[in-house]
Amino acid sequence: MKRRFIAGGFAAVTALSLSVAPAHAQPRDDRTSSFEQVYGVEGSTAKRLDKAREENDDAAYDRLANQAHEFELATAGSVANDEMFKYKIGTTFDLLLASGIAAALLAILGGVAFQQGKIKISF
Are the C-beta atoms of residues 90 and 20 closer than 8 Å to each other? no
Residues 6+ apart with CB under 8 A from 49: 61, 64, 65, 68
The verdict on residue 40 lying in a domain is yes
The verdict on residue 6 lying in a domain is no
The verdict on residue 26 lying in a domain is no
Is pLDDT above 80 for 27? Answer: no
Q: Given its phi and psi angles, is residue 87 left (phi above 0), alpha (psi -120 to 50 degrees) or beta?
A: beta
Look up the domain containing 58 and give its range.
Answer: 31-123
* Structural domains in the chain (count): 1
Higher pLDDT, 20 or 119: 119
> Rounded to the nearest 10 degrees, how much is the dihedral formed by the CA atoms of 47, 48, 54, 58?
-150
What pTM did the predictor assign? 0.57
Least confident of 25-29, 90-94, 108-112: 25-29
Question: Measured over all CA atoms, what is the biggest interatomic distance in the chain, rounded to whole angstroms?
Answer: 59
